[in-house]
Each structure stands twice: as C-alpha cells, then as structure tokens.
Amino acid sequence: MASETLTSSEYIRHHLQNLTFGQHHDGSWGLAHNAAEAADMGFWAVNVDSMGMTLLLGGLLMWFFRSVAKKVEAGVPSGAQNFAEMVIDFINDSVRGSFSGRNAMVAPLAFTIFLWIFLMNLMDLLPIDLVPEIAKFIGSNVFGMDPHAVFFKVVPSTDPNITFGMAFGVFALVLFYSIKMKGMGGFIGELTLQPFGKWAIPANFLLEGVNLISKPISLALRLFGNMYAGEMIFILIAIMFSAGAVMASLGAVLQVGWAIFHILIITLQAFIFMTLTIVYLDMAHQEHH
C-alpha cells in the first residue's frame, strides 16, 4: 500500500529508483540519496538491488537443481525431480526445434537463460511494498540510513543494465561462433556481400550491420520494456489502496486480475529471450556461400 507520507508521484519515483552505489562529487564512495545523485555517479555506479537480486536468484537456481541432481532416484521420482525433468525436456525440445547445428553449450545456455529470467520476472508478483519496506527497515535500523534514501527495486529485469548485460553476453557468443564457424573472412564476407553481392558492398554492410546490432538491442529492450510496464501498472494499482475503501476494493480486484495475466507475460518474455538466443546462435553456426 502506498505510504501516507508520500504523494502519488513521490511514491512512483521512489519505487522506480534503484539503490545505487558509486562515487560522489567529493570523491567519496557510497549510496546515492536520490535519483540526481545516482545519475551523477556515472558509468561505474552499481545498482546494488538489481545485482543483489540477480545473484541471489541465480544462486537459488543452481542450489535447487544441484540438490535435485544429488537425490535423483531411478524408481519413483520426487515431485522436485519430476519438475526438473519436465523443464529439461521442455528446453531440449526447444533447442532441437530451433538449433540445427551441433554445440553442447546451447542447451545449458538456453536452460540458464529461461529459468534465470523467469525467476527475475517472477519477483514482479511479490507485493509491491514488501521487499522495499524490509530494505527500509534494515537500512534505517541496522545501518542507520535515512529511510527516505533507502530504495530497492526487487525485479532485476526492470533494470536496463541487467537486460543489456544479458543481451550483450548473448551477442558476444553470436560473434564468437560466427567467426569460429565461418572464419574471419567468411564473417566479413557475410556482412559485406549479402544480400546484393559484391557490387553493393556499402549498402550490404549498412543493412547487415544494422541487422547484427539490432539483435542485442531488441533482446534487451523487449524484456526491459515489458517488465517495466508491468511493474508500473502494479505501482499504479497500489496507489489506489490509499484512495479510500471503494478504490481500495477496486484495486484489490485489479491487482489479482493483473497478477494472473502477468504470469503469462513473465513466462512469455523468458521464453522469447531464450528462443531468440537459440535462433541467433543457429544463424551464427550456418555457413553462407
């Protein structure tokens, strides 16, 4: 529920602000107290909440599947084992349907991308004020921070730094395998000789260069845009709880309805990111003549 000490616009800005660590103007390092300070910290600033949640969810993912793998039974499998096998079969089917080459790395990569992004997106279904209020309590009572300067965005995929980081990681793999499979000459030839042949090298390079660069940008912005919009709607619905009993009742209905619909978005965005990664790697493995 929106805090009574904040206006609606302040409440929205507070929930959209990351907990940022970086260098202040005086040369000291510390947490930003507002959005202006965070922006002034520049490129080397770190969004502590996004990084922390990303690493935490990645650790939980590894812990869960490692614990399942250590308890695999040949007889009657446990519910966790059934779930793990179902997910693995789903990923393998997706890879077989979209990847025509041979690379043992693709399936584990797709597995990691899908589940990691799904868990990040899933954080959007937590009550909007739950984790920020816990962070505010810990920050003010344990570390003596100003409670109004304690920010915490719980959904890592609403941070473009996270989505672009993952997209650039995929892009680096695409470039690596493009050069490995086709050679440097083949890769350059693909960028300069298609689709119009050797007499239109500038036009070919422009078109193919835009097509190449658009891959990581589209991956990052699609995930970020959808999750950011979903988070914004949850924030707007939360504001309704402070506008009286009638609006609170309507907000409760809208919150449940949007949460149910958002489950589809959460899953779909993770699936799209995974599928496009597989397709881009498949294209990188194909040789054009």
Stretch 98-105: mean pLDDT: 89
Among 94, 222, 242, 249, the active-site one is 222
Distance CA 230, CA 249 (A): 20
For 176-191, how does the pLDDT look when each residue is reduced to its tens digit (9 = 90+)? 999 998 888 888 888 8
Task: Give CA–CA dist 265/163, Å, rounded.
Answer: 16
pLDDT of residue 5: 61
**pLDDT exceeds cutoff 60 at 3:** no
**Comparing 2-16, 141-155, 265-279, which segment has the lowest mean pLDDT?**
2-16
pLDDT at 269: 96
Q: Which tokens sit at 72?
A: 């695999």
Cα three-residue angle 174-178-181, rounded to 5 degrees: 135
Average pLDDT, the chain: 89
Identify the CA nearest to 123 among candidates 270, 237, 221, 252. 270
60-91: pLDDT as tens digits: 999 999 998 888 776 677 788 888 889 999 99
Question: Quick one: pLDDT band at residue 243, thresholds 50, 70, 90?
Answer: confident
Domains in the chain: boundaries: 8-71+78-285
Yes or no: say if 121 and 159 are a contact pair by the CB < 8 Å rule.
no
Q: Buried (b) or exposed (e) across 179-196, using 16+ Cβ within 10 A?
A: eeebeeebbebbbbbeee
pLDDT of residue 266: 95
Sheet holding 20-23, edge to edge: 29-31, 20-23, 46-47
Catalytic one of 100, 141, 218, 249: 218
Higher-scoring residue by pLDDT: 82, 112: 112
Rounded Cα distance between 104 and 87, Å, is: 17
Is there a contact between 112 and 120 (Cβ–Cβ < 8 Å)? Answer: no
Respond yes or no: is residue 222 known to be catalytic. Answer: yes
Q: Return d(Cα 215, Cα 174) in angstroms, integer.
A: 10
3-class DSSP state of 28: coil
pLDDT of residue 124: 93
What's the chain's length in residues?
289
226 is catalytic: yes
Count other C-beta atoms under 10 Å from residue 94's C-beta.
18
When pLDDT is cut at 50, 70 and 90, the band that residue 112 belongs to is: very high
Which of 104-113, 128-137, 153-162 is predicted with the least confidence, judged by mean pLDDT? Answer: 128-137
96 is catalytic: no
Spatial CA neighbour of 270 closest among 79, 56, 124, 96: 124
The distance from CA 237 to its chain's CA centroid, rounded to whole angstroms, is 23
Nearest CA among 168, 165, 171 for reference residue 281: 171
For range 9-27, the mean pLDDT: 89
What residue type is 142 in one-letter code?
A: V
